[in-house]
Structure 1
C-alpha cells in the first residue's frame, strides 16, 4: 500500500489530488453521520431520563 501511494503521488498528481479529496470527503461524511447519531441518542436519553411536564406545570418556568 505504501508503494502504491508513493507511486501514485509521484506519477500522477491529479489522481493523487482526487484520492485525497475523496478521503477527506468520506471522512467528513462519516463524522457527520456519527455526530448526528450521537445527537439523536442524546435526545432519546434526555427524553427518557429528563424532567417530564405535567398538566398543571406546563407554563411554569423552572
Structure 2
C-alpha cells in the first residue's frame, strides 16, 4: 500500500512541476492516454495542501514505520 501511495504522489508532484515549467507540454495532451499526466498536474495544482499532507504522511511512514 505504501508503495502505491509513493508512486501516485510522485506522479502528481512531477506532473505539477512539469506543467509549471513547461505548460504547453501537458496542455496539448488533455485527452487519451497522455491525458492522465494532465489530470495529475491539475490535481497537484488544485489540491496542493492535501497533496503536501499526504507527502508528509508518506515520508513519516517510510522513515519510521518500515
Q: TM-score, normalised by structure 1?
A: 0.36
| Larger RCO, structure (CA 8 Å, separation 6 or more) | 2
Larger Rg: 1
